[in-house]
Copies of this chain bind each other. A is one copy, B any other.
């Protein structure tokens, strides 16, 4: 046994939910997490600075994953769309946040422990 053997899967981050980790969706779900009664499409678009097409596309992914629910309605004669987190979506988001906290703790620790930069290559190595 060598004490230099790296810990298998130490940085695999299996729990980092790809549906929620994607940058735009992370913004969308964080916006919605703050508002239990939901957000209108227009407000969500402004908060996340997404185009109509991009927001629609990401909402479809989130709806198919059961993370958001989408409600159609009217304000006078104008159609409106209200989006909310589902209960299971909120639960999944909380789990994601817990994993993200662990990743960040790793990252801060890594950044601190690896601060000393060696400029010399080990024997037998040359730049590719």
Task: Specify which of B30, B103, B109 is in contact with A26 (CB 8 Å cutoff).
Answer: B103
Interchain CB contact under 8 A, A106 and B72: no
Q: Which residues of B are found within 8 Å of A12, using beta-carbon distances?
A: 27, 47-50
Q: Which residues of B are found within 8 Å of A23, using beta-carbon distances?
A: 13, 16, 18, 21
Q: Which residue of B lies closest to A42 (CB)?
A: B6
Interface string of A20-47 (1 = CB under 8 A from B): 0101001110111111110100010011
Q: Which residues from 82 to 101 on chain A have a C-beta closer than 8 Å to any C-beta of chain B?
A: 82, 85, 87, 90, 93-94, 97, 100-101
A73 touching B124 in the complex, CB below 8 Å, given contacts A21-B23, A27-B12, A36-B118? yes
- Closest A-B pairs by Cβ, 7 of them: A73-B125, A34-B110, A11-B27, A12-B49, A33-B110, A73-B124, A71-B125
19 additional A-B pairs beyond A73-B121, A97-B107, A100-B104, beta carbons within 8 Å, are A7-B47, A8-B47, A9-B47, A9-B48, A11-B47, A11-B48, A26-B103, A30-B103, A30-B107, A30-B110, A33-B111, A34-B109, A36-B117, A71-B121, A71-B128, A72-B126, A80-B125, A94-B111, A100-B100
